[in-house]
Chain A
Amino acid sequence: MTVSPSFQRSNAGAERGFPDVDAVVAALRAEDYIAERDLATAIYLSLSMGKPIFLEGEPGVGKTEVAKALSRCLGSELIRLQCYEGLDVSTAVYEWNYRRQLLHLRGLEAAGGGDARAAVDDVFSSDFLLERPLLRAVRQSRRGEAPPVLLIDELDRADEEFEAYLLEILADFQITIPEIGTVAAETPPVAVVTSNRTREVHDALKRRCLYHWIDFPDYEKEVQIVLRRVPEAPEHFAAEIVRLVQALREEDLFKQPGVAETLDWTNALIALDQETLSDDILRDTLGVLLKYQDDLDKIDDEAVRRLLRKSQSPGD
């Protein structure tokens, strides 16, 4: 097999343990994450090619879960950066510990001064540096440990300024701190970027990554997910629950319930000692599945009956 130069660092990725796509599917399954095969393919490529993976999809389809499961099955640390508007270098990358710096300078003064230049060098050394997620991810991969999984969560919440900065970081995992110098990752961290699409993320950034759109799972997958994540649920009940949620997704709703909602609901029903679905219990717990008043209004008595009928016919 010939390897192009740009592709050389892929070998580092292959060392991370997965010989092929099947291995990724199996490893994720062992960590209770049931992945569609094309998602597993994208993850496998991302690891092997050392490229970040960009996951988009409706809220609650398990984008963040991918990173968590991945870090568990790689046995590496998960470093999470939650995005928000105004996220800047001092919260995402690094910050100087000003209080300690000031105390240190005062201490030197009290002790009778000394060399001012040396004091400055002293104060801007890594002892006074506060690592934030991105710097930590880059440094971690230099310490000879397994490269961490870097989760950049809900990038659509950050603003364009941060996106531009991220573009730089994702290109070569290298961070320059003026006072210290450049820190570069030896093996790039496994980067997972997620977005809920409350804003279009710039194409340039998506192109740097492998892109994957996560859909709602099909019936069989979702039942498997429920059984894995809520082992207390009997199989026939899980099937009933999933059929109902899937029927609900076909209703004309502003916000369809995600897999996260299915799991929450299953847990709620188990906590209420239910073993089968009924009109009353569905009406009372609908708020776990639907989070908008309009949507709740839409599911009236007639819709409840219709949904229950669908959930009880396994022919679906």
Chain B
Amino acid sequence: MTEGAAAAAARGHLLRNIVLFGRLLRVGSLDVTPTQLRDWVAALELVDLARKGDVKAAARAVLVSRRRDQPWFDKAFELFWQARDPRELEQLELGLMIQRRTERTKRAAIQKLALNDSDAGNDRPDDDRERTARAQLYSAREALRQKDFAQLEGEELDEIKRLMATMRWQLETRRTRRLRPDRHGHRLDLRRTLRRSLTQGGEMVDLVRRGRKHRRRPLVLLCDISGSMEPYSRLLLHFIYAVSHPRSVDPGISRVEAFAFGTRLTRLTRELAERDVDRALQAAAHRIEDWGGGTRTGDALREFNFTWSRRLLGQGAAVLIISDGWDRGDIDLLGHEMERLHRSCHRLIWLNPLLGSADYQPLTRGIVAALPHVDDFLPVHNLASLEQLGDLLFSGGGSAPGSGRPSAG
């Protein structure tokens, strides 16, 4: 009886520890589901509990489904493994609770800030205002569309951000190898043809056809956030956020990946996935360590090519690089990596805010090295230029220095 009770108590401790471990993992943003935890309990009955390596391998196989989560998992597991005494884990839980509490209050504070912000931006004209006022507003807007991002102030900035959020982004489509019913398709759908013929006494009257399915392309954005881009970079991050968050049901782009670079490459996709604009941008800004520093585009592109390109450029992706081309890094490397990038994506577009000014000549070393490998070279200094970009992305037409290359797809 007492032995059974002791065993039950030990079991209770173990279960409690397991639940705590699950919470610990969630703090590290591993999304552990209850099903996974249950599976782990099942797995624990199968392995030798005295062998730490086995217990850990079992836990990892069941609970971790992304390689990048492994470092946090390793840390959490060490804590879990060492904390044999329930009291220790209790303290751990207390620590967790405090951490959560502070996070929650921080989040609330940010939300409050964001709320105030949007209140300020909500002074839209009422419907009963006169038409003349509307016309004035229209011309004001037109002026705003043409105004350089670097010269925007206060309310104008808010208005531009609002307009950016309402823009609709759409990429040209790519023909996939998947087939779907298509009246004008080039292949016979024998299955449907036969089915239909059976309703007509076995006579093949109608031939049912299939054709290739089309699908939107993925988009990869690489944004320069170095010192020389300072006047533009914050607004451009807003632009990237807007592109990553389609407003309509049909997302015009199949998948958006965002990176920032200066002297190093930072992936922002996860940060920008946050629903709330301000929180997303704050998280992104927090992530970027080389904000406002120098530029080594070659190194950043190299890192992209080596660690990301094979994973992200697979489905005929288009790549947008946003940079003024002021580069202090290795120029040969830049040319080389641009060439590699150009070969592995469907379309490479370079957006340059300086291209907006009439007397700009693309003569900086970086631009000279990069231009031969670019399909389109476009300005990105005001709202009008963004609209122009939108049209170009959708049409897929090239006004390009380096086009005429067969499309990868």
Residues of A within 8 A of B (CB): 1-4, 6-7, 10, 20-21, 37-38, 41-42, 44-46, 48-49, 51, 53-54, 56, 84-86, 88, 90, 95-96, 98, 101-102, 105, 109, 116, 119-120, 123, 156, 159, 161, 197-200, 203, 206-207, 209-213, 254, 294
Contact = CB atoms under 8 A, between A and B. Distances in A.
B78 to A, nearest CB: 16
Given A38-B53, A120-B198, A88 B179 contact: yes
Contacts of B46: 10, 44-45, 48-49
Given A21-B54, A42-B57, 14 more contacts: A21-B48, A37-B53, A38-B57, A41-B54, A41-B58, A45-B43, A49-B46, A88-B179, A95-B191, A116-B201, A116-B202, A199-B314, A203-B66, A207-B33
- Majority secondary structure, B binding face: helix
Contact of B67 (A3, A90, A213): A213
A121 to B, nearest CB: 11
A200 B313 CA distance: 11
A210 B62 contact: yes
B234 interface: no
B54 A37 contact: yes
8 contacts: A2-B45, A42-B58, A42-B61, A45-B47, A85-B176, A101-B194, A199-B311, A199-B315
Given A206-B65, A213-B70, A49 B42 contact: yes
A90 B190 CA distance: 11
Contacts of A6: 38, 42
B67 A56 contact: yes
B310 A210 contact: no
B64 interface: yes
Contact of A21 (B47, B60, B70, B202): B47
A20 B61 contact: no
A21 to B, nearest CB: 6
B178 A86 contact: yes
Interface residues of B, number: 43
Contact of A211 (B65, B177, B194): B65
B345 to A, nearest CB: 13
Nearest to B11: A2
B117 interface: no
B38 A212 contact: no
B178 A96 contact: no
B54 to A, nearest CB: 5
B228 interface: no
Given A21-B54, A85-B177, A210-B61, A90 B191 contact: yes
Contacts of A95: 191
B403 interface: no
B306 interface: yes
A10 B45 CA distance: 12
Nearest to B64: A211
Given A116-B201, A198-B311, A98 B191 contact: yes
Nearest to B70: A213
Nearest to A116: B201
B364 to A, nearest CB: 26
Nearest to A44: B46
B39 interface: yes
A86 B179 contact: yes
A132 to B, nearest CB: 14
Interface string B14-52: 000000000000000001010110110111011110000
